[in-house]
Amino acid sequence: MNILRRTAAAALFAVLTAACLRGVYAADISVKMESVASEGSQYVSFGDVKPIIIEDRTLVSARDMAEAAGMQVAWDQPTQTALLTLTPNAYSDKPIERYAAEVISRINGFGLDLTPVSITAALRLYDDNAVIRYNFIDTDGDVVAIGKKYPLDSQAALVNDGTLVIPIRHSMEMFGLTVDWNQDERCAYVSIPDDPKPFEDIAIIANPGEGEYSYALEAPENAGIIYIPTEETPDQSYAVDSSGMNIGEYIGNFKITHYCPCAICNGGHGGNTAWAGKLIPGQTIAVNPNTIPKLSWVYVDGYGFRRAEDTGGGIEEYHIDMAVPTHAMAMELGVVYRDVYFAY
């Protein structure tokens, strides 16, 4: 057993003891997949770590559960996050992959030209929320994630020699699967619903971040836009924010990326901009001057007012690169899409 696993297991024991909780292994609990990873019914084969009950919730080995459901599972050590991945494939011989293809095909792409890639669930250790993402590639080859936070009935944890365990019910229901419990048999039955569909109230959110499996920050809060159509602009070309401040003329829906003054993001320019001296995180944006004139102020929905002080060869017409303080933040915020207005 390595030091990391001993430390993690000891930490879990301390948490359980301090909270007067008791984790009880329950070898008599079983899980049965009903035509999920393959046709027919199969019991999940748990290895050395049997299902465990913590605070009246049943958790099972993440790897055993995911692989039995036809998913991939990976672990990101820096963020202490497990990522379950489901690959959509309408022509697969696996029912779960055909199901995933049907679900992701029903996602509202918010007017973007998107190609589906995967459905992922990120569960961080000892966190009450997970994140479900429907992942796509846009026409520029960048990942666009549409999803939401998902509250868990039990946190992911490390037990035994460092084995990751996750809640049976919510780890499967996050993907839209049905979980039924038979008390007499002490068995959880996992199946594909008759009407596959994605969750409601989903939106474009931050990409996974610097690490492929990172538990990313959420996109900034919406500023509370109120649209005011006029006779000249009945298509809602002008808007004010929730305080009544005039925002200005609508330019369009922009792809928003993020960068910082470091050499990776800003090359040999360091902390300097193309038109306004020093780069100012929270103010500076890099734009294509054919769309947004240099040194003009704009309002970016969810971010507020920003000034066009920089540019770059990779900035397309409907693309803004948003200056942020650190490289880690730039990577975590990833790619989002926002409405942009000229500021008056």
Instruction: Let me know: does 342 contact 214? Beta carbons within 8 Å.
Output: no
**Domain assignment of residue 26, given as a range:** 3-205
| CATH code for position 283 | 2.40.40.10
For position 257, what pLDDT does the model report? 92
Same domain for 179 and 300, yes or no, is no
Instruction: Let me know: does 107 contact 100? Beta carbons within 8 Å.
Output: no
Q: Which residue has the tokens 């939106």?
A: 203
For position 305, what pLDDT does the model report? 80
Residue 302, domain member (yes or no): yes
Residue 274, domain member (yes or no): yes
Residue 213, domain member (yes or no): no
- Positive or negative, the CA dihedral 291, 296, 300, 306 is positive
- C-alpha 322/C-alpha 256 separation (Å) is 7
- C-alpha 21/C-alpha 28 separation (Å) is 21
- C-alpha 307/C-alpha 296 separation (Å) is 6
Same domain for 160 and 305, yes or no, is no
Instruction: Let me know: does 66 contact 101? Beta carbons within 8 Å.
Output: no
Q: Over the stretch 188-237, which tens digit does the pLDDT of each residue have?
A: 999 999 998 898 888 877 665 545 555 443 433 333 333 444 444 444 44
Same domain for 162 and 260, yes or no, is no
What is the longest distance spanned by two Cα atoms in the chain? 72
For position 228, what pLDDT does the model report? 40
Residue 280, domain member (yes or no): yes
Residue 219, domain member (yes or no): no
| Strand arrangement, sheet containing 115-124 | 72-76, 81-86, 115-124, 129-137, 143-151, 203-205
3-state SS string over 240-287? ECCCCCEEEEEEEEEEEEEECCCHHHHHHHCCECCCCCECCCCCEEEC
Residue 74, domain member (yes or no): yes
Tally of domains in the chain: 2
Q: Which residues of the chain have pLDDT under 70?
A: 1-23, 161, 206-247, 344
Same domain for 197 and 276, yes or no, is no
Same domain for 194 and 266, yes or no, is no
Q: Which tokens is 241 given? A: 């924010």
pTM (two decimals): 0.67
Same domain for 56 and 138, yes or no, is yes
For position 268, what pLDDT does the model report? 73
